[in-house]
Copies of this chain bind each other. A is one copy, B any other.
Amino acid sequence: MPHPRPAPLLASRLTKIEPFHVMRILADAQALEAAGHDVIHLEVGEPDFPTPPPIIDAGIRALAEHKTFYTGACGLPQLRAAIAGFYVSRFGLQIDPARIIVTPGASGALQLILALLVGRDDEVLLADPGYPCNRHLVSLFEGQPVNVPCGPETRYQLTAPLLEAHWSPRTVAALVASPANPTGTLLELPELKALADAANRHGGNLIVDEIYQGLVYGRPHETVLSVTDDVFVVNSFSKFFQMTGWRLGWLVAPEWAVADLEKLAQNIFLAPPTPSQHAALAAFEPATLAILETRRQELQTRRDALAAGLVELGFELSAVGDGAFYLWADARRFTTDAVQFAEQLLHEEAVAVTPGVDFGQAETMLRFAYTQTQPRIEEALARISRFISQH
């Protein structure tokens, strides 16, 4: 039915927020599955593991005890203390729990930080390729995302020299991710320290997305907080702790920013979900951490198998991701248009992958997520091999 009046004007930010190309892949994949095809999902940015049983059990106990009322805007004090305890036990770091704000997902954390720092036309530097929601959230607050092309020579990461080259009088912050999505690559602690120092020298701020923290392979777990307190850190219970649908994350802020962030939290979302917070108290228990370590090792095995298989097929992995659960592969030996490649691969061999254009200027790149079991990954590699040989 046509709208009975002229379509109302929408906020101009809507034109800057693009839909994800992968949504079309997802819709097609679902249609194929509905038609009886066996689709292998290497496009999904969500761990395939269910939430560890101790966390589930804690959630059930919380509900049975009617722990369903609002908490404070910054979260349960005992959860903020537990997160601080995790920084002590894992990294040997003393973080004042008052600097830790529990949020509805990492999305909520990033929203608070950007609402605090980003005014009209203020610029935020981001690595291209990068997670698209991050730049869209900058636009949401009327800021200007500045996508800095980052190639294999910096493992697709923003570095201090790149920051210096792109910092302008309007720049207020740089946002990096370690491990990163879509590449799985990490920044080294000295690189993070140099980035924070450079941003601070300019009177700006560094924001570090650590939502894949803990999902690292063949190297130690790290946090930027080991090298500076003058940084905003975004973290999450979704990925390493495998609590995606619970919508729970946290941020660590410099002390000077806490009062304003709390004011924003009160207004933007009132409080993070209560049952999720009680469940998350079990995330740091030894039994949970043991389960998570087994799963981390399983992801490493998958990563190694997928990386080796893709290279053998002729994909280029210029910087093998040491973290998260993604590989960022160049398909230029097979195509000049990875969107078309991904669509054909799905329709001919029922393997779903994410085209690189969702993450930046990356016409021949594909993101492979190893969020499937190893036999499924082997099967996907066999199908991709057949697909390539027939084109």
**Residues of A that sit less than 8 Å from B by CB:** 1, 3-14, 17, 19-20, 46, 50-51, 56, 59-60, 63-64, 66-71, 104-105, 107-108, 111, 115-120, 122, 132-133, 136-137, 140-142, 172, 200, 203-205, 230, 243-247, 254-256, 260, 263-264, 266-276
Which chain B residues lie closer than 8 Å to A69 at the CB level?
46, 244-245
Nearest B residue to A259, CB-CB? B19
Name the CB-closest residue of B to A104.
Answer: B104
In the assembled complex, the Cα of A276 lies from the Cα of B104 at a distance in Å of 13
Instruction: Name which residue of chain B comes closest to A256, CB basis.
Output: B3
Decide if A273 touches B270 in the complex (CB within 8 Å): no
Among residues of B, the one whose C-beta sits closest to the C-beta of A20 is B266
What is the bound-complex CA distance between A276 and B274, given in angstroms?
10
Chain B residues in 8 Å Cβ range of A117 = 8, 10-11
Given contacts A108-B269, A268-B137, contact A66 B56 (CB under 8 A): yes
* A4 near B230: Cβ-Cβ < 8 Å: yes
A69, A140, A267 interface centre (most CB from chain B within 10 Å): A267
Given contacts A8-B172, A246-B275, 15 further A-B contacts (CB under 8 A): A3-B254, A4-B230, A5-B203, A11-B118, A11-B141, A17-B263, A51-B66, A105-B270, A108-B269, A133-B266, A136-B267, A142-B142, A244-B274, A247-B271, A273-B273
With A133-B267, A273-B276 as contacts: A66 and B46 at CB distance below 8 Å: no
Contact present for B200 and A245 (CB under 8 Å)? no
* B8 with A203: CB separation less than 8 A: yes
Interchain nearest-CB distance for A182 vs B (Å) = 16
6 A-B residue pairings within 8 Å (CB atoms): A5-B203, A8-B205, A51-B68, A60-B64, A104-B273, A245-B275
Q: How distant is the Cα of A64 from the Cα of B273 in the complex, in angstroms? A: 18
| Distance between Cα atoms of A46 and B271 in the complex (Å) | 13
Which B residues touch A105, using CB under 8 A? 269-270
Taking CB atoms, residues of chain B closer than 8 Å to A56 are 63-64, 66, 68
User: Does B247 lie within 8 Å of A137, measured CB to CB?
Assistant: no
Residue contact A119 to B13, C-beta cutoff 8 Å: yes
CB within 8 Å for A10 and B260 given contacts A56-B64, A203-B5, A245-B69: yes
Contact A111/B268 with A68-B244, A203-B9 known, Cβ cut-off 8 Å: yes
Of B10, B108, B118, B275, the contact of A116 (CB 8 Å cutoff) = B10
The interface centre, meaning the residue of A1, A46, A243, A246 with most chain B CB atoms within 10 A of its CB, is A246
Interface centre among A3, A271, A273, by most chain B C-beta atoms within 10 angstroms, is A273
Q: How far is the CA of A108 from the CA of B245 in the complex (A)?
A: 16
Within the complex, which residue of B19, B51, B140, B264 is in contact with A268, where a contact is CB–CB below 8 Å? B140
Contacts A17-B263, A104-B269, A270-B105 given: A11-B115 contact, CB under 8 Å? yes
